[in-house]
Chain A
């Protein structure tokens, strides 16, 4: 098979697949935790403010914080799975097409999980904050707004599913040395 055949390819084949894999793993956990933290502070600040006049809401509305936290846990799980996909190949095969593909698969998988969890955490945080505020007004609204929050938290799960399916493509060439 011939060498790189386009301008992008000339640049991309010079980058080690391990670079892409490492960045993918870091993004998977780093950006997921960013999303979880963002959601938690949005929810938490509204919850604490609303609880001044309605202290009864505090214990129930911690569920919103837990939904945001789950997003960070998804990021940790996928980062651990992705790093077990890393294998060492002999130096002659680092730039072989199959290892390049494995590097790209881990990179894309990490990007997917990281950014899907980022937007999921934000979404759950915003809904959690309005859940706390409307619960303070009328306690029958809590469960109804929680249903909306569950729809929001499904987005993180989509990211995890696709990330794990894609990481199955990360097959490195068998090393002989």
Chain B
């Protein structure tokens, strides 16, 4: 116990950050998988040959869960008050990075789900729409991953606020862009 340094309750916020990272990313991944999966199944009744190609939004939504897993493991292995001092600053930084990753993952998953659902149904009628559909998910995933890893290393707040807005802004663009394309 003499080697414990840092604030007593800081691990609460740290572990909650890891929890937020995984839980919200999984919520986004589940929404994306379910919504696009329903679109694929409905579309597959009319065009069974397009089903395997239309699984792309499902795969991208699944990747969101993996990102949440990575950030959650990075955060939870970083909470070790005996090896390295763990103050409230570190706890709050982990909480914010977990929330950033998780909530961006949730929004990315919802965007992937809605766009994927509309995209696979539209792709069945117009094959040229395939690329537009797949690009939307990618921006959100990479923006969110940067935010999470940066946050867990305690760099400036402004940097990851901006990156969060970038991710969510693309969310909005993606949804509206899909409507414009059609």
Residues of A within 8 A of B (CB): 1, 4-6, 8-9, 12-13, 96-98, 100-101, 104-105, 107-109, 111-112, 115-116, 119-120, 122-123, 126-127, 130-131, 133-134, 137-138, 140-141, 144-145, 147-149, 151-152, 154-155, 158-159, 161-162, 165-166, 169, 173
A4-B8, A147-B55 known; A108-B18 Cβ under 8 A: yes
Distance between Cα atoms of A144 and B42 in the complex (Å): 12
Known pairs A122-B34, A127-B37, A166-B15; A148 contacts B58 (CB<8 A): yes
B68 and A148: CB pair below 8 A? Answer: no
Interface residues of B, CB < 8 Å — how many? Answer: 50
Known: A8-B13, A9-B7, A144-B52. 17 other contacts (CB 8 A): A5-B88, A105-B11, A105-B15, A109-B15, A111-B23, A112-B19, A112-B22, A112-B23, A115-B23, A127-B38, A138-B48, A145-B40, A145-B51, A152-B34, A155-B26, A158-B65, A166-B76
Q: Can you name the residue of chain A whose Cβ is closest to the Cβ of B43?
A: A134
Q: Is the CB of B34 within 8 A of A123?
A: yes
- In the A-B complex, the 8 residue pairs with the smallest Cβ-Cβ separation, listed nearest first, are A108-B15, A123-B30, A130-B41, A119-B30, A126-B34, A9-B9, A127-B37, A12-B9
From A112, A144, A147, give the contact of B72 (CB < 8 A): A112
Contacting residues of chain B (52-91) with chain A, CB-CB under 8 angstroms = 52, 55, 58-59, 61-62, 65-66, 68-69, 72-73, 76-77, 79-81, 88
- By the criterion CB–CB under 8 Å, are A162 and B44 in contact? no
Contacts from B to A (Cβ < 8 Å): 1, 4-9, 11-13, 15-16, 18-19, 22-23, 26-27, 29-31, 33-34, 37-38, 40-42, 44-45, 48, 51-52, 55, 58-59, 61-62, 65-66, 68-69, 72-73, 76-77, 79-81, 88
Q: Which residues of B contact A12 (CB under 8 A)?
A: 9, 12
Q: A101-B81, A112-B19, A169-B79 are in contact. Are A130 and B42 (CB under 8 A)?
A: yes
> Which of chain A's residues have a CB closer than 8 A to the CB of B80?
169
Which residues on the A side are within 8 Å of B8 (C-beta)?
1, 4, 9, 13, 97, 100
Determine the distance from Cα of A104 to Cα of B42 in the docked complex, in whole angstroms: 44
Residue contact B33 to A152, C-beta cutoff 8 Å: yes
Residue of A116, A122, A141, A159 near B44 (CB, 8 A) is A141
A69 → B minimal CB distance (Å):
17
Please name all residues of chain B whose beta carbon is closer than 8 Å to the beta carbon of A101 when the two chains form the complex.
11, 79, 81
- Provide the bound-state CA to CA distance between A139 and B14, in Å: 48
Asked whether, in the complex, the Cβ of B29 is within 8 Å of the Cβ of A155, the reply is yes
CB <8 Å contact, B41 and A133: yes
Task: Give the nearest-CB partner of B12 in chain A.
Answer: A104
User: What are the residues of chain B within 8 A of A105 when measuring CB–CB?
Assistant: 11, 15, 76
Q: Which residues of A contact B12 (CB under 8 A)?
A: 12, 100, 104
Contact B44 A120 (CB under 8 A): no
Nearest CB on B from A39, distance (A):
10
